[in-house]
């Protein structure tokens, strides 16, 4: 058995003479929740379209569970459940009819499984209503339902939290993590909500203008940024505090906020600074580590650049 | 592999669970009832065959148009609503998915034709005399080339030939909706074929140049062969017309499938 569920191998996509995806190489291990991050127009949806065979690949190949999506489509796609952009359904059918429609296209999906999935996404109450009467969030849930009907090994979701309320987002997040932990389903998810990615993903790839610029392990990078982070100290008299800290051998800087100083260092440095300030008779109202979110790191890396 | 029949069931479900179906059925049956009703009220000396014939020549194009609407929206709407993405990411080749749509479209055309024929015969059997020759002067005008067939045989032959025209028109609009992903265009062109081409362009056949005989439009309307396999209008044979149509048919089908398989889906 292959240890990677997805292998994107040196994939390039050109439309006309524009290179939209440029030599992208990625691997997603089985059971991992993998985030796919990038600014607008960086090529996330295009990559996902190639992964599910909706778009042809100009050069390179994508293997899903060892099968090439371009040469062995039916085998490769059999393990995949997906939502590409919005979950469009047949509006004139009921939610249930929509699910039956997709269940019929895959061998071995029983009526019982359809019921089970309906319960799983919490749609029992409205499943027999026409889809045109659904809210965006309900359509999103139905989209998730059609994607997991056949218990895929790989779930591909393009901005799945789009349109969900906070409770819905949280539910989806917990559900995806559960799928990955308990059933070993790998989840490939793109999102604009960067903070979402931090909570949900094991690893995150960052692309910009069709090029992979970084892959990072979310938990590790959070620990790293805490280790060598900036520490914010709130005091009553910033001028005196800077002097007191300088005397104790620490360099502090004021920030744009009145009374807020910043020093660079770890926990030990924070404790030492606190002791020096108290000794100098300065009131310390608060000390906290400035944790850089993935979002800050992401913006730093992509230069906060818009649509590219 | 799941059953290919399931794909056709899906397409049929999408056709039959829509309110527009009832509008179509209502219009077809309603028009027949109204026209026959008015006719019978004014003068019921006609035979049901004459009335049926007149109504077929004047109303059947509506059946073709409905078949075209269903066939072209079958492909185009999947693109315009984005559902094509969910349809194509299943373990089925694109060719088979398109085939299921095409077969379902032809089944629908057949279904509507049968409904039309049944409504026609039933309504006119109730309102008119089934056996008399009716007004013989009228009959002579309508059934100019009865060609030794009984009225019923003639009408069945006429329907068979008209249905071939419907199949061709449905195939053309199916192709157009696959290429342009717009059902307005496909329906518009089908209307044009039904109304303009079928009536006016047949005159082309009278031009003595040889190449004209190989034009698609000259052969789309086959009803001139209803009485006999050799047209009394221009001397062409049914076999020749069918051969020309078959060549175009194969071309259209090949182009439709080629384009559908090749296309990047980015809607
Ligand atoms: N069919 C197409 N023809 C030409 N260019 C295209 C096509 N589809 C996408 N592009 C271009 O490819 C680039 C990547 O688009 P893509 O939709 O993959 O971005 P994305 O990362 O999903 O963006 P977003 O975050 O806005 O969803 C964009 O510059 C877009 O203009
Ligand atoms: Mg996108």
CATH of the domain at A10: 3.40.50.300
In this prediction, residue A130 carries a pLDDT of 96
In this prediction, residue A127 carries a pLDDT of 95
Ligand 1 nearest-atom number relative to CA A210: 14
Q: Rounded CA gap, A134 and B195, in Å?
A: 41
Q: What is the mean pLDDT of residues B177-185?
A: 87
CB-nearest to B266 from A55, A78, A92 is: A55
Kindly state whether residues A48 and A179 are assigned to the same domain: yes
User: Which residue matches tokens 């400035």?
Assistant: A290
Strand duo A284-290 + A33-37: pairing: unpaired
CB-nearest to A80 from B9, B82, B89 is: B89
Contact present, B92 and B58 (Cβ < 8 Å): no
Q: What is the mean pLDDT of residues A139-146?
A: 91
Q: How far is the CA of A85 from the centre of ligand 2 (A)?
A: 6
Whether residue A58 lies inside any domain: the answer is yes
- Report the chain B residue with the minimal C-alpha distance to residue A56: B264
Whether residue A91 lies inside any domain: the answer is yes
Contact present, A45 and A84 (Cβ < 8 Å): yes
Q: How far is the CA of A219 from the centre of ligand 1 (A)?
A: 30
Number of domain units in chain A? 2
- Report the chain A residue with the minimal C-alpha distance to residue B81: A88
What pLDDT, in 10s, does the model give residues A177-226?
888 888 889 999 998 767 778 888 999 999 999 999 988 888 766 666 55
In this prediction, residue B97 carries a pLDDT of 96
In the numeric block, which tokens belong to residue A132? Answer: 């045109």
Q: Which long-range contacts (CB under 8 A, 24 or more apart) does B251-260 make?
A: B252/B171, B252/B172, B252/B175, B253/B171, B253/B175, B255/B175, B255/B179, B256/B98, B256/B171, B256/B174, B256/B175, B256/B178, B256/B179, B257/B95, B257/B98, B259/B178, B259/B179, B260/B75, B260/B94, B260/B95, B260/B98, B260/B178
Cβ separation of B89 and A54 shorter than 8 Å? yes
Q: What is the mean pLDDT of residues B124-153?
A: 66
Cβ separation of A74 and B13 shorter than 8 Å? no
Cβ separation of A91 and B81 shorter than 8 Å? yes
In this prediction, residue B27 carries a pLDDT of 95
Flag whether pLDDT at A163 surpasses 90. no
Flag whether pLDDT at B220 surpasses 90. no
- Report the chain B residue with the minimal C-alpha distance to residue A14: B264
Please tell me which residue, A173 or B197, carries the higher pLDDT value: A173
Kindly state whether residues A144 and A166 are assigned to the same domain: yes
Set of chain A residues whose Cβ sits within 8 Å of the Cβ of B95: none
Q: Which residues of B sit within 8 Å Cβ distance of A? A: 1-2, 6-7, 9-10, 13-14, 17-19, 81-83, 85-93, 262, 264-266
What pLDDT, in 10s, does the model give residues B37-96?
998 888 777 788 888 888 998 899 899 999 999 999 999 999 999 999 999 999 999 999
- Report the chain B residue with the minimal C-alpha distance to residue A58: B264
| Most confidently predicted of A119-123, A189-193, B202-206 | A119-123
Kindly state whether residues A145 and A277 are assigned to the same domain: no
Flag whether pLDDT at A303 surpasses 70. no
Whether residue A298 lies inside any domain: the answer is no
What pLDDT, in 10s, does the model give residues B20-43?
999 999 999 999 999 999 988 887
Residues whose beta carbon lies within 6 Å of some atom of ligand 1: A 15, 20, 38, 40-46; B 266
Among the residue ranges A60-69, A252-261, B52-61, the one predicted with the least confidence is A252-261
In this prediction, residue A21 carries a pLDDT of 95
Q: How confident is the model at residue A308 (pLDDT cuts 50, 70, 90)?
A: very low
Whether residue A297 lies inside any domain: the answer is no
pTM, whole model, 2 decimals? 0.85
In this prediction, residue A2 carries a pLDDT of 60
Among the residue ranges A253-257, B12-16, B56-60, the one predicted with the least confidence is A253-257
Among the residue ranges A78-87, A166-175, B139-148, B162-171, the one predicted with the least confidence is B139-148
Cβ separation of A101 and B1 shorter than 8 Å? no
Cβ separation of B14 and A107 shorter than 8 Å? no
Contact present, A208 and A47 (Cβ < 8 Å): no
Q: How far is the CA of A62 from the centre of ligand 2 (A)?
A: 19
Kindly state whether residues A135 and A278 are assigned to the same domain: no
Kindly state whether residues A74 and A175 are assigned to the same domain: yes
Q: Rounded CA gap, A98 and A101, in Å?
A: 5
Q: Between the CA of residue B124 and those of A233, B39, B134, what are the distances in Å?
A: 95, 10, 13
Q: What is the mean pLDDT of chain A?
A: 87
Q: Which residue puts its alpha carbon closest to atom 28 of ligand 1?
A: A41
Give the bridge partners for A35, in sequence order: A189, A204
Q: How far is the CA of A288 from the centre of ligand 1 (A)?
A: 41
Set of chain B residues whose Cβ sits within 8 Å of the Cβ of A88: 81-83, 85-86
Q: How far is the CA of A194 from the centre of ligand 2 (A)?
A: 14
User: Domain span at residue A269?
Assistant: 229-291
Kindly state whether residues A102 and A150 are assigned to the same domain: yes
Q: Apex CA B213: angle with CA B207 and CA B218, to 5°?
A: 85
- For residue A248, the Cα-to-chain-centroid distance in whole angstroms is 43
Report which bound ligand comes closest to the CA of A84: 2
- Give the burial class of A152: count Cβ atoms within 10 A of its Cβ; 0-12 exposed, 13-18 middle, 19 or more buried: buried
Q: What is the mean pLDDT of residues B94-120?
A: 96
Flag whether pLDDT at A255 surpasses 90. no
Q: CA of B88, closest CA in chain A: separation in Å? A: 7
Cβ separation of A54 and B92 shorter than 8 Å? no
Kindly state whether residues A209 and A250 are assigned to the same domain: no
Q: What is the mean pLDDT of residues B240-245?
A: 92
Kindly state whether residues A260 and A127 are assigned to the same domain: no
Contact present, A27 and A4 (Cβ < 8 Å): yes
- Report the chain A residue with the minimal C-alpha distance to residue B14: A93
Q: How confident is the model at residue B17 (pLDDT cuts 50, 70, 90)?
A: very high
Q: What is the mean pLDDT of chain B?
A: 86
Q: CA of B67, closest CA in chain A: separation in Å? A: 19
Contact present, A239 and A213 (Cβ < 8 Å): no
Set of chain B residues whose Cβ sits within 8 Å of the Cβ of A106: 2, 90-91
């Amino acid at each position: 058995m292959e240890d990677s569920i997805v292998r994107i191998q040196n994939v390039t996509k050109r439309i006309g003479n524009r290179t939209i995806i440029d030599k992208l190489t990625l691997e997603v291990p089985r059971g991992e929740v993998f985030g796919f991050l990038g600014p607008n127009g960086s090529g996330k949806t295009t990559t996902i379209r190639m992964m599910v065979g909706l778009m042809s690949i100009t050069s390179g190949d994508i293997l899903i569970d060892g099968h090439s999506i371009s040469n062995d489509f039916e085998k490769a796609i059999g393990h995949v459940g997906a939502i590409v952009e919005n979950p469009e359904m047949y509006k004139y059918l009921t939610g249930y009819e929509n699910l039956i429609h997709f269940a019929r296209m895959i061998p071995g999906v029983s009526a019982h499984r359809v019921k089970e999935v309906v319960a799983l996404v919490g749609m029992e109450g409205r499943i027999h209503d026409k889809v045109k009467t659904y809210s965006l969030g309900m359509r999103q849930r139905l989209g998730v339902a059609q994607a997991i009907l056949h218990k895929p090994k790989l779930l591909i979701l393009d901005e799945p939290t789009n349109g969900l309320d906070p409770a819905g987002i949280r539910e989806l997040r917990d559900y995806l993590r559960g799928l990955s932990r308990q059933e070993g389903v790998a989840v490939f998810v793109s999102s604009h909500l960067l903070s979402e990615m931090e909570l949900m993903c094991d690893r995150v790839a960052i692309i910009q203008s069709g090029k992979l610029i970084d892959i990072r392990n979310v938990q590790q990078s959070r620990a790293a940024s805490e280790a060598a982070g900036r520490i914010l100290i709130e005091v009553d008299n910033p001028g005196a505090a800077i002097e007191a800290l300088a005397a104790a051998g620490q360099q502090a800087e004021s920030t744009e906020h009145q009374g807020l100083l910043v020093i660079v260092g770890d926990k030990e440095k924070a404790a030492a600074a606190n002791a020096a300030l108290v000794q100098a008779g300065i009131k310390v109202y608060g000390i906290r580590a400035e944790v850089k979110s993935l979002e800050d790191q992401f913006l730093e890396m992509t230069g906060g650049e818009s649509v590219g | 592999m799941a059953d290919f029949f399931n794909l056709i069931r899906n397409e049929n479900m999408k056709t039959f669970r829509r309110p527009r179906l009832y509008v179509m059925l209502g219009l077809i049956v309603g028009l027949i009832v109204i026209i026959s009703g008015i006719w019978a009220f004014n003068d019921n000396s006609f035979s049901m065959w004459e009335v049926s014939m007149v109504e077929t020549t004047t109303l059947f194009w509506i059946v073709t148009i409905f078949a075209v609407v269903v066939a072209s929206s079958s492909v185009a709407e999947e693109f315009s609503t984005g559902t094509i993405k969910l349809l194509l990411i299943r373990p089925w080749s694109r060719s088979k998915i398109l085939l299921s749509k095409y077969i379902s479209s032809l089944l629908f055309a057949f279904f509507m034709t049968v409904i039309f024929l049944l409504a026609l015969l039933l309504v006119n059997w109730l309102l008119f005399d089934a056996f008399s020759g009716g007004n013989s002067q009228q009959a002579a005008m309508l059934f100019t080339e009865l060609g030794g067939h009984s009225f019923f045989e003639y009408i069945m032959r006429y329907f068979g030939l008209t249905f071939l025209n419907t199949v061709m028109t449905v195939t053309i609009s199916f192709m157009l909706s696959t290429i342009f992903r717009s059902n307005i265009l496909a329906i518009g062109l089908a209307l044009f074929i039904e109304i303009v081409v079928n009536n006016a362009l047949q005159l082309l056949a009278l031009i003595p140049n040889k190449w004209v005989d190989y034009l698609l439009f000259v052969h789309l309307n086959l009803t001139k062969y209803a009485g006999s396999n050799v047209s009394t209008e221009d001397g062409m044979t049914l076999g020749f017309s069918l051969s020309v149509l078959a060549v175009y048919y194969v071309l259209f089908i090949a182009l439709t499938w080629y384009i559908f398989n090749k296309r990047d889906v980015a809607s």
